Amino acid sequence: MAPSLPTSLPDLESASGRTPMLQLDTTADAASWAAEHRDAVRAAVLEHGAVLVRGLELQHAAEVGAVLQRLDLLPVTEKESFAPRQTYSEGVYSSSKWPPNQPMCMHHELSYTLEFPGLMLFACLGAPTEGGATGVADSTAVLDALPPELTERFEREGWLLTRSYHDEIGASLSESFGTDDRSAIESYCRSHAIQFAWQPDGGLRTRQRRSAVVRHPVSGRRCWFNQIAFLNEWTMAPEVREYLIDEYGADGLPFNTRYGNGDPLTEDTVQLLNKVYEAHTVRRPWQAGDLLLVDNVRTAHSREPFEGPREVVVAMADPLRLADCSPTVEVTTS
């Protein structure tokens, strides 16, 4: 008879403002540890929303792929990316290319798609000299803290993501869709409830409406699940926003978000969203070798500005369908 796996982990270190952390004292390699504690790790992430594991001494992207495999999780292939990444193996990527002096505000990975990762793994192979923490925020607490009139509107209408694909900025068509063949891109858009329009210069503009509030498929928790604030024009640095509008026009921004009926969001509303996120953010500075596991529905994540080299490998796993998370907005595909 095969030995049973541990069903719980030792007590996690927790403190106000800090991500729950498991400090290991082990000589086992990361993949072996993950295989031995697979069920306990997943239970801890479900309970806490995010867990930082320190002591695995991860050094290479291949080790991250091995951990993903030994946790017995299906990898998720990224589609509709908004920034370029390097692919290391199935489901394992570099961090998105994003200016180090600009934050990546709180968001849920691929929450604008119809299928997204239920679990995110972040492995720090090289820590920055300053900043660069991956913060996390409980999406149920965020939902409860937002004004009811705001969340009720988003529940009724959902949120709208608009995108304009340019060769000069953001992910290209081939990086986002895995092809630059127009007919294949159109077919993907139709089957994923994305409206599209080709532009005279060969660019593409898209619109997709999604639910802003969902239920966790295991716990049933109501979660604020979207990228409304992160991908909105008012979250951009003012000089970046002004440059992009001058270059591409207000309707040609690489990405922007609106209420589900198409009404624009005010700067005050977006600032409110980010303030509530910040009030519920916990973090720990990265150390080389760390592994952070994040429940992508229960917990939003961010990346803070940093200085010096920073290498964080990202793995996406445990595919979930929006349809299985009690969406409040009907999605029609063709």
Q: Which residue matches tokens 């996406």?
A: 316
Residue with tokens 């999780």: 73
Beta bridge partners, 295, equal: 119
Could you tell me which residues are beta bridge partners of residue 131? 306
Question: 21-25 long-range CB contacts below 8 Å, 24 or more apart?
Answer: 21/51, 21/52, 21/53, 21/54, 21/284, 22/51, 22/52, 22/53, 22/54, 22/55, 23/54, 23/55, 24/53, 24/54, 24/55, 24/56, 25/55
Judge whether 209 and 222 are in contact, CB under 8 Å: no
Q: Which two tokens stand for residue 106?
A: 């709180």
Residues 119/95, Cβ–Cβ less than 8 Å? no
Both 235 and 288 in one domain: the answer is no
Q: Tell whether 123 and 25 lie within a shared domain.
A: yes
Euclidean distance between CA atoms 327 and 211, whole angstroms: 6
Last residue of some domain: 268, 283, 312? 268
* Domain membership flag for residue 279: yes
Tell whether 94 and 27 lie within a shared domain: yes
> Is residue 63 included in any domain, yes or no?
yes
Give me the DSSP letters along 265-308.
PPHHHHHHHHHHHHHTEE-----TT-EEEEETTTEEEEE--EES
Do 157 and 68 share a structural domain?
no
Q: Could you tell me if 105 and 227 are in contact, meaning their C-beta atoms sit under 8 angstroms apart?
A: no
In a domain, 334, yes or no: no
Divide the 334 residues of the chain into consecutive groups of 10 and give the mean pLDDT of each group.
Answer: 62 90 89 95 96 96 97 95 93 94 95 98 97 98 98 98 88 92 97 96 95 98 98 94 93 96 98 98 97 98 96 98 96 86
pLDDT reported for residue 14: 84
Residue 240 — left, alpha, or beta (φ > 0 → left; ψ -120 to 50 → alpha)? alpha
CB 140 within 8 A of CB 215: no
pLDDT, position 1: 45
For residue 312, the SS3 value is strand
CATH number at residue 232: 3.60.130.10
- Number of residues in the chain: 334
pTM: 0.95
| Full residue range of the structural domain in which residue 195 is found | 148-268
pLDDT value, residue 202: 87
Count Cβ atoms below 10 Å from residue 173 Cβ, excluding itself: 18
Q: Which of 233, 252, 268 is the last residue of a domain?
A: 268
Q: Do 252 and 289 sit in the same domain of this protein?
A: no
- 41 & 70 share domain: yes
- DSSP notation for 214-256: EE-TTT--EEE---TTTTSGGGS-HHHHHHHHHHH-GGG-SEE
Q: What is the rounded end-to-end Cα distance, in angstroms, of the chain?
A: 49
Q: How much is the pLDDT for 147? A: 98
pLDDT of residue 165: 93
